Amino acid sequence: MRTENDLRRALIELEPATTSTAGMLDRVRAGAARRRQRRRAMIAIAAVTVVAAAIPVGAHQLRHSPGSTATATAQPGVTRTPSARPSPTRTPPSGVTLRFGFESRPTPGYLVVPSSIEPDVQRASIYLANVGIGRRSFGDLTVYTGPDFDASLALRGEPVTVNGRRGYYASLPDPDTGNGTRKPALAWEYAPSKWAVVQGDWTPAAARGAELALARAVSFDGTRTFAVPYRAVGLPANLHPFSGLFGVGGGDLISVVELTDLPLDQTTAASKRGASTTAVHLDVRKAGYIYQANATVGGRPAYVSREWVQVYLASGYALTVSTSQARAADYPAAVLRRIAEAVQPLPDPTVLTQWVDALTALPR
Amino acid sequence: MTFEEFAASRLPALLRFAVVLTGDRALAEDVVQEVLIRTHAKWRRISGLEAPEPYVRRMVVNEYLSWRRRWARQVPQAEPADTRSVADHAAQHAERDALLTELRKLPARQRAVLVLRYYEGLSDVEIAAVLGCSNGTVRGYASRALAALRIELGPLPAFVREDH
């Protein structure tokens, strides 16, 4: 079975080694000149045609005065037929607390950046200090806050002690590939039935020392802020955080928060099946494309489509408010737009020191 | 920025993108040339955009897709022939070549979705806007294309897998 990385590498390989453009600009210039001449000729023909057709068109317009035949024009994504789907629950569910439950002291040679929070698992990305924080991490620290970790494989490994707790050096599935490939890892039981795992791209010889140093640097007696580049004021009362992602790489920042309006266990179960029932996604990142604005949201230029709303911020960033496919009927564009209005982004999302603690920025 | 300055500075990058998108150097040149001629005609409006290049890239995608539609009407068996000689490659590249060959056989929109997602790094939301279709349609194209190429998705978090 091939992986997504195989595809990425193949596409990069398609890039031409050289991109000689000799002669192309000349052909473009010549083509543009021909089109100009043709357009002028077409305009002349069109002018004659319009004059010939003017009289019958004018009579038709007089017989049909404005408004007499007016029909309602559907606004894409704004007007929808009532959904046959059950309405989302009005009982406020208790959301996930967007705060990291672990901290990592500095470890020589490595940078550890807390990255995501889900109901039963939190993660941090591990980077090599001499390489810096790039788009791809070198490894991961995964902290299971619930009972999800299957310890059976780890228990077959070689025992080790991490800060007084039992742990194991073992070969565990690589979450990056998902194809069953295993990589060296260190898993330890940091609290009764709760596990954490350090895993990376080390060579087998180097893995143990690095994994143990990184594992020993992790403490679970404090918490660490999960920050977002906005304040959400006046969101629908039934929306609560389900997960959060913070990403940094290549100088760009990414913030994604999923909001749910269903009981947490239902959303979690769907997520584990690979389906998403989350209601709303708040996504701030550098915009790949900036579309010509067709609306103003919160005083900022925005692009409102049938299924999502994108609000343009400083430094080429954008806030995208969208829903999952399964919930599109419950959250049409008009609703997403109202939610986007309730999100007040920071003046410049690239100023990380100004990001706001999610516990105060979002409803709980 | 004048059209000449834009074209001279961005032509190599546009051509690289078009080659990856089409898998065919000659076709890529034709597509980019046609797009730049139309860009020249609309330059006053395009140059007023905050980011002209992404707009022009979108034109490249649409031109490629309409090109394929024109081919389909005129030449029923118009899949570009695989001109790469597998025999020329070392054995360790055989799998990569097989993947590239299968990639060329994908329907144009499926291929465009894969290139935009895995080469350009666009989110499904952004791809949907480029192609003028829904997020669900993008996911459908991607899903069918990945299945055809026998590519297994990694276990991304739900929010990445579903909508981003």
Question: Which residues on B lie below 8 Å from A15 (Cβ)?
Answer: 16, 19-20
For residue A248 the two structure tokens come to 């940094």
Q: Which amino acid is at A25?
A: L
| pLDDT at res. B137 | 86
Q: For B126-152, how does the pLDDT look when each residue is reduced to its tens digit (9 = 90+)?
A: 888 888 788 888 888 898 898 888 887
What pLDDT digit, counting tens, does each position of A123-156 carry? 998 988 888 887 567 889 999 998 778 899 899 9
> Which residues of chain B from 121 to 150 reach within 8 Å of chain A, CB to CB?
121-123, 125-126, 128-130, 134-136, 139, 146, 149-150
pLDDT of residue A78 exceeding 80: no
So what's the pLDDT on residue A34? Answer: 64
Predicted confidence at residue B68, as pLDDT, reads 54
Q: Please give the backbone phi and psi of residue A150, each rounded to the nearest 5 degrees, phi first.
A: -90, 105
Q: Is the pLDDT of residue B18 over 50?
A: yes
Copy the structure tokens of residue A193.
Answer: 């039935």
Q: What is the structure's pLDDT at A225?
A: 93
Q: Does domain A100-222 have CATH number 1.10.3470?
A: no
Sign of torsion over alpha carbons B61, A295, B40, B53 = negative
How far apart are alpha carbons B20 and A7 in whole angstroms? 12
CB-based contact B100 A283, cutoff 8 Å: no
Asked if the model's pLDDT at residue A77 lies above 50, the reply is: no
- Please, which pLDDT band fits residue A63 given cuts at 50, 70 and 90? very low
* Averaged pLDDT, B85-93: 44
pLDDT (0 to 100) of residue A364: 65
Q: How do residues A247-304 score in pLDDT, each as one tens digit?
A: 876 667 889 898 998 887 777 777 666 556 778 989 898 876 677 788 999 999 998 8
Instruction: Report pTM.
Output: 0.55
Distance from chain centroid for Cα A23? 42
**Residues of chain A found within 8 Å of residue B119, distances taken between Cβ atoms:** 8, 11-12
Question: Whole-number mean pLDDT of chain B?
Answer: 73
Closest CA to A337 of A361, A306, A293, A291: A306
What pLDDT score was predicted for residue A274?
56
User: How close B13 gets to chain A, by Cα (Å)?
Assistant: 8
Domain boundaries, chain A: 100-222, 227-361
The pLDDT of residue B160 is 36
**Average pLDDT over chain A, rounded to an integer:** 78
Asked if the Cβ–Cβ distance from A256 to B29 is below 8 Å, we say: no
- What is the number of other CB atoms lying within 10 angstroms of the CB of residue A179? 14
Interface TM-score (ipTM) > 0.90: no
Domains of chain B: 1-79 (1.10.1740), 92-164 (1.10.10.10)
